[in-house]
């Protein structure tokens, strides 16, 4: 064949067509995670000059939620107003991950100079039988509390976007369609006709309307959020759930505490207080700095080994030390202090897979079905929040259009565990909404992720790359991730190669390559550089993450 320009052009065109066909029609295996494609690439990052933009934005894995948050900010609402509206919207448009039947945790920073406050509106236990599944939902009380303290727009206006999506509907995407399909065995489909018309899960591209949920939200809008705990909605919940009494709902309170805090490479890391896993994130970063992880980044296998052992030590500490502070003695200042962290780091250096079983005890089930978002407003307020139902669609029980959580499965059955199931107690969680304050208030980053037990490792691996490489925010998000469990290191397909796998096996690890896009979470966040007067958003394609900045 003569290699003339025409032949080369035809070959290139054919390769492009083949690439497109492989992208859209490539083989996918199936499991309940529903996202089985190899991890797609995110959009390139972009810095927004605050000379040209107002300086506010929203980051989420759901476009309707982003649109809602930006609409509230455009109207003059602050970050808390937008957070309330986004949270209610996500309960409609991302119903597998969060909603009024669940709970969550929110970090609130009033300005670049402030110490953040952590609001815990996790579910509490009204039964000591894990099979009962449903804990007392804290979501609505959480939204009410943060709005009363920091909101500016009327609460009824903030519910309207969610009501509109529930009443008018929205187009079902592949993620929602797949999650419904794979969750079918756990759900009484006749009790959720909007999601299962004619007994079958709604399909991608169809319009989902939720009239029952719309009416429930309208009741909250008209009667006030207290109705969820002592009105019509409360009565319906207590009548539908045998182990939840009216008093259980009436007595629910939000826990407002100082955020857990630690230092990392000159910045202050603020993250969720116990029983969430902010301490775990802080310990991992502190150990990484103390052990000079930066020096291993030229040797990928040694870097993965060292960070994996740091992860295992921090997770082991979490098992033995973290629980609901209302029931357990959790010394946050001790656990985030340099002396304690360096002591744990010294053990990392010696361990190298010692005591494998002891370091990976089973502690209940925690699924990847959470919703994380970050909001910044033009006055410098920052919100980092993670909401959840437990499993996908929670317990699978739907009451007046709302999915009820499954949090009673997230306790330990060991009476010696700080996470042992006791009535009134909040369950431990890997969730870790985080805000990072740059040295001398030079910058603010709100960051977090869904992903079950991979949440702390996903956040930390992203932050390590930001601290120790010259990568852009987006390149650090796109980089492959890994996570250790017992003696196996799970490696994202994009970073797996024969040499890395061989080297890790020589260290004594088993390896497993993960191709499910959402396995390693979905980093969501915004960054404001106060010195350069720029903002930047994080777009993680693992779960269709995106952002908007104005």
At 46 the pLDDT is 81
Angle subtended at Cα 368 by Cα 362 and Cα 371, rounded to the nearest 5 degrees: 135
Distance between CA 8 and CA 30 in Å, rounded? 38
Helix crossing, 63-74 with 79-93: angle to 10°? 150
At 45 the pLDDT is 66
At 175 the pLDDT is 86
Is there a contact between 386 and 433 (Cβ–Cβ < 8 Å)?
yes
Sketch the domain layout of the chain as residue ranges: 83-255+391-410, 257-364+434-549
At 6 the pLDDT is 38
Rounded to 5 degrees, what are φ and ψ at 25? -125, 15
Among 3.60.20.40, 1.10.10.10, 3.40.50.2300, 1.10.3210.10, name the CATH number for the domain at 257-364+434-549: 3.60.20.40
Is there a contact between 363 and 419 (Cβ–Cβ < 8 Å)?
yes
Is there a contact between 48 and 548 (Cβ–Cβ < 8 Å)?
no
At 43 the pLDDT is 63
Catalytic-labelled residue, pool 93, 124, 370, 518: 370
370 is catalytic: yes
At 350 the pLDDT is 63
At 368 the pLDDT is 52
At 358 the pLDDT is 43
Instruction: Give the start-end residues of each E strand in 132-283.
Output: 170-171, 207-208, 255-258, 260-264, 267-271
Distance between CA 435 and CA 81 in Å, rounded? 18
Angle subtended at Cα 108 by Cα 144 and Cα 315, rounded to the nearest 5 degrees: 105
**3-state DSSP assignment of residue 473:** helix
Mean pLDDT per 10-residue interval, the chain, length 550 residues: 40 40 32 46 76 95 97 98 98 96 97 94 97 97 98 98 98 92 91 92 97 98 97 97 97 97 98 97 98 96 96 94 97 97 88 49 55 96 96 94 95 94 96 96 95 94 97 94 93 96 94 91 95 94 92
């Amino acid at each position: 064949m003569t290699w003339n320009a025409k032949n080369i052009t035809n070959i290139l065109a054919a390769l492009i067509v083949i690439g497109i066909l492989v992208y859209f029609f490539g083989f996918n295996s199936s499991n309940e995670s529903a996202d089985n494609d190899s991890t797609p690439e995110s959009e390139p990052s972009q810095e927004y000059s605050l000379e040209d933009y107002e300086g506010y934005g929203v980051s989420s894995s759901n476009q309707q939620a982003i649109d809602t948050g930006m609409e509230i900010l455009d109207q003059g609402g602050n970050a808390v107003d937008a957070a309330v509206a986004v949270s209610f919207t996500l309960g409609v448009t991302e119903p597998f991950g969060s909603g009024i039947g669940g709970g969550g945790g929110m970090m609130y920073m009033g300005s670049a100079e402030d110490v953040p406050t952590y609001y815990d509106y996790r579910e509490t236990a009204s039964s000591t039988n894990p099979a009962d599944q449903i804990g007392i939902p804290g979501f609505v009380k959480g939204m009410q509390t943060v709005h009363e303290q920091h909101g500016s727009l009327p609460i009824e206006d903030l519910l309207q976007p969610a009501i509109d999506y529930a009443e008018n509907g929205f187009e079902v995407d592949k993620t929602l369609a797949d999650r419904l399909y794979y969750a079918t065995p756990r759900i009484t489909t006749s009790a959720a006709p909007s999601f299962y018309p004619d007994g079958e899960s709604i399909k991608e591209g169809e319009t989902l309307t939720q009239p029952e949920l719309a009416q429930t939200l309208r009741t909250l809008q008209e009667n006030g959020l207290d109705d969820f705990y002592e009105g019509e909605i409360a009565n319906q919940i207590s009548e539908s759930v045998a182990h939840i009494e009216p008093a259980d709902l009436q007595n629910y309170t939000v826990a407002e505490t100082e955020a857990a805090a630690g230092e990392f490479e000159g910045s202050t890391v603020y993250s969720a207080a116990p029983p969430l896993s902010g301490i775990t994130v802080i310990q991992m970063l502190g150990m990484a700095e103390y052990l000079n992880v930066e020096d291993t980044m030229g040797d990928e296998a040694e870097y993965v080994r060292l960070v994996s052992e740091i992860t295992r030590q921090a997770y082991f500490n979490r098992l033995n030390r973290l629980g609901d502070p209302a029931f357990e003695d959790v010394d946050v200042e001790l656990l985030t202090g340099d002396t304690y962290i360096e002591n744990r780091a010294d053990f990392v250096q010696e361990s190298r897979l010692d005591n494998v079983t002891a370091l990976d005890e089973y502690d209940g089930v925690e699924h990847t079905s959470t919703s994380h978002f970050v909001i910044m407003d033009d006055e410098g307020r920052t919100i980092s929040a993670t909401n959840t139902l437990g499993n996908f669609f929670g317990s699978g029980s739907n009451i007046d259009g709302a999915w009820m959580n499954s949090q009673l499965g997230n306790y330990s059955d060991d009476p010696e565990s700080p996470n042992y199931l006791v009535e009134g107690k909040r369950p431990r969680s890997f969730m870790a909404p985080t805000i990072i304050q740059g040295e001398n208030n030079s910058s603010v980053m709100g960051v977090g992720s869904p992903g079950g037990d991979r949440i702390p490792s996903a956040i930390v691996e992203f932050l390590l790359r930001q601290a120790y490489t010259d990568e852009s925010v987006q390149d650090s998000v796109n980089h492959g991730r890994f996570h250790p469990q017992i003696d196996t290191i799970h490696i994202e397909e994009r970073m797996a190669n024969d040499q890395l796998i061989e080297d890790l096996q020589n260290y004594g690890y088993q390896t497993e390559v993960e191709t499910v896009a959402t396995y390693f979470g979905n980093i969501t966040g915004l960054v404001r550089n106060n010195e350069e007067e720029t903002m930047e958003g994080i777009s993680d394609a693992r779960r269709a993450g995106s952002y908007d900045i104005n």
